[in-house]
């Protein structure tokens, strides 16, 4: 994929699990880059694997329209690691140099990585390899260090709260105690927020041994 002009350009990819607001974040970054700074935007497909395999698309006005209410990510996502990339029949290989070469082949001024903890670690490794990196915290767990709120968390907490609200009547009708388990990895933000909003009698979180 040859660069179209000699203007500045950035790359963008999404890694890890999908969640709400991914497309909105892609749209926000790309539209700001295009309209405010005159920067071209290259999207890499299926996370870091797309960067390593040089599978890219131009992001322009037509590809960014009507994204605000669309779930998932138009770029696709994955959990591949450039330094430990799985290859069919060959195990894993360190393809960091390939990722770096593809970055330079597109004459990128920066690579924007949208993802959670794993994506941030991969982004850091690429930064140490010499690339300019910007990262956006994405995870329903809300566990990216140094971040107040990651996108995806608010929607997940709202859905978990709605689920708790719906089982109140069943618990009362059958005189039962309901135990609700949420996601959250090693952090309790999702359980804490949904539990408080849903009126839970007790909330168990990893940060406090029980």
CB–CB of 57/43 below 8 Å?
yes
From the list 46, 80, 141, 143, the catalytic residue is 141
Closest CA to 29 of 136, 174, 118, 120: 136
Tally of residues, the chain:
210
On the 0-12 / 13-18 / 19+ scale of CB atoms within 10 A, 205 is middle
Rounded to 5 degrees, what are φ and ψ at 52? -65, -40
Closest CA to 3 of 51, 58, 53: 58
Active site residue 141: yes
**What token pair was written down for 73?**
């990510």
**What token pair was written down for 187?**
């952090």
**What token pair was written down for 127?**
């930064």
The residues annotated with a catalytic role in the active site are 141
């Amino acid at each position: 994929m040859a660069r179209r002009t000699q203007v500045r350009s950035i790359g963008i990819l999404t890694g890890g699990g999908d969640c709400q607001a991914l497309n909105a974040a892609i749209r926000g970054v790309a539209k700001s880059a295009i309209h405010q700074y005159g920067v071209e935007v290259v999207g890499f497909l299926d996370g870091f694997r797309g960067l390593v395999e040089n599978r890219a698309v131009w992001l322009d006005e037509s590809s960014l329209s009507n994204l605000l209410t669309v779930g998932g990510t138009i770029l696709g996502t994955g959990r591949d690691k450039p330094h430990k990339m799985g290859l069919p029949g060959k195990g894993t290989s360190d393809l960091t140099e390939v990722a770096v070469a593809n970055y330079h082949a597109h004459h990128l001024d920066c690579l924007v990585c949208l993802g959670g903890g794993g994506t941030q670690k991969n982004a850091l490794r690429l930064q140490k390899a010499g690339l300019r990196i910007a990262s956006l915290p994405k995870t329903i767990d809300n566990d990216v260090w140094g971040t107040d709120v990651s996108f995806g968390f608010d929607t997940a907490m709202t859905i978990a709260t709605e689920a708790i609200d719906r089982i109140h009547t069943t618990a009362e009708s059958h005189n039962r105690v309901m135990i609700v388990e949420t996601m959250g990895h090693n952090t309790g933000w999702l359980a804490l927020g949904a539990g408080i909003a849903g009126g839970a009698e007790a909330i168990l979180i990893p940060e406090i041994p029980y």
